[in-house]
Amino acid sequence: MAIERIAILDYGSQYTQLIARRIREQNVYSEILPFGTAAEKLRADLPAGIILSGGPDSVFEPGAPGIDEGIFSLGVPVLGICYGMQLMSRTLGGEVAKGETREYGKTEIEAQPGNDLFTGMPARFTVWMSHGDRVERIPAGFKVSATSANCPYAAIRDEARRFYALQFHPEVAHTQFGSQIISNFLFKVCGCAGSWKMEDWIAATVENLRKTIGGDEVVLGLSGGVDSSVVAVLLHKAIGRRLHCIFVDNGLLRHGEAREVEEMFSKRLGLDLHVARAAQRFYAALRGVEEPEEKRKIIGREFINVFAEEARKFRSCRFLAQGTIYPDVIESSSAKKGPSQTIKSHHNVGGLPPDLKFELVEPLRDLFKDEVRAVGRALGMAAELLDRQPFPGPGLGVRVLGEVTEEKVKLLQQADLRVQEEIRKLPDYKSIWQTFAVLLPVRSVGVMGDQRTYEWTCAVRSVDSVDAMTADWTRIPYDTLATISNRIINEVRGINRVVYDISSKPPATIEWE
């Protein structure tokens, strides 16, 4: 089943994922591809249009990311943004030079009349610039579409070939009429119908999964979180009982979570679920370890070891499925053209032993969390499952700061249970991205009754977000915070102080470790 789509060639911009979001919000499917994607690969399944994203490089740098020039001969519209504009101009015979003045931030541009991309917009509006280099001479056949005080070619176009380029970022909220510019490209230039629905994506994905997997079997590490759960139901729809789900009970889950996963997936949804009970194994491996990244690596390693032992029981499985989503790809993987800083390590089953030579299946890797939930809803999954808040792969192992012990985990489980019970009473609970408790390696003096106490401190963290790329702390009502604090201190023996985290991401991360 062919889906009308826009292909985005990724040149490393921090905003590339926003381009994809802005397009999908207008009911047109978009996919992000490596910048080196060959023209012939695109020709085989021709997109309605192509966007060249921005990026941090200069076209003058040795080894700067380039483009297959055949892409400009495919006969489809092309939109270059920032670096994409400079690359397009240079490739098609224009000139790019180092800018005398770096232009960064909000800038007013003056649009020229007669440009389809700016239809319905005033002659002057504010955009978000982010560039050092700039186009000095436009290629033959191009016209000027807009200028700014420091940029004579803030936007250019070649209407005959349907090539458009912008020196600013229409995908960010700081650009006025940015969504309108993208809309004009989609509907006026590319002729998109705007009829894409999540049901279309599901149908195409199921068809593709059946074609890829054939008559083989798939093994999946099921955590019970939204991502792996949606992957499980999606694969179950595609191949039925040839999907084998492995649930590793590592002792680092939320209160009662292991039991809930078994009830939901095995008994209610009818999936082939296999449970590995390995809590003591994880506690032993974590004994004496305090450094956050080392804890993540240990939990990841033990998860892989336990998962591998279970997976070996399925000798006929050819494929391994994972619930990777787009923010995981951004934060955890290296950039397509070089190394990037590791923000944190996500544990997955990508480092399996050599004897387990699975082929990887990641059907959600181009979706954002809200889109994954939309897939789940379209698949008829229960709201109680889809509305579950995100939970880190290493579980409570990164919410017990410092050394992780069984005693501390059970303490945190009880504190977090009170947090969850109270936060669910809020009328806007579903709009909160994530709320949880963190056990700090800090003891403080308290007084309970006539007794002096010297016990642990619990932090409560709650954030609002759309896709976990950025987040702001939730303004929870004081009465709710008071109730949470009162319940934890009075009902959880071992904690005598509760604090509330009011840090945003960035500069903080959502998790403490």
What residues are paired with 499 via a beta bridge? 459
DSSP H/E element including 330: helix 326-332
| 492 φ, ψ (degrees, to nearest 5) | -110, 105
* Annotated catalytic residue within 171, 257, 302, 422: 171
Average pLDDT, the chain: 89
For residue 290 the two structure tokens come to 């305090």
> Catalytic: 82?
yes
Residue with tokens 């209160």, as numbered in its chain: 255
> Catalytic: 171?
yes
pLDDT band at 337 (very low <50, low <70, confident <90, very high): very low
pLDDT in tens, 222-278: 988 889 999 999 999 999 999 999 999 999 999 998 898 888 888 888 899 999 999
pLDDT in tens, 400-446: 999 999 999 999 999 999 999 999 999 999 899 999 999 999 999 98
Alpha carbon 141 to its chain centroid, in Å, reads 39
How much is the pLDDT for 340?
Answer: 31
Of 352, 343, 356, 284, the C-alpha closest to 315 is 356
* Annotated catalytic residue within 4, 151, 169, 346: 169
pTM recorded for the entire structure: 0.70
Residue 469 has pLDDT above 80, yes or no: no
For 101-110, 111-120, 288-297, 501-510, which range has the lowest pLDDT when averaged over its residues? 101-110
Alpha carbon 297 to its chain centroid, in Å, reads 21
Q: Is 483 left (phi over 0), alpha (psi -120 to 50) or beta?
A: alpha
CB-side neighbour CA atoms (13 Å) of 443: 6
CA dist 133 and 145 (Å) reads 18
Side by side, the strands of the sheet bearing 151-158 are: 29-34, 5-10, 49-52, 78-81, 163-166, 151-158, 143-148, 95-111, 124-137
CA dist 11 and 404 (Å) reads 40
Q: Where are the beta strands (DSSP E) in 208-260?
A: 217-221, 243-249
> Catalytic: 458?
no
* Annotated catalytic residue within 4, 82, 302, 346: 82
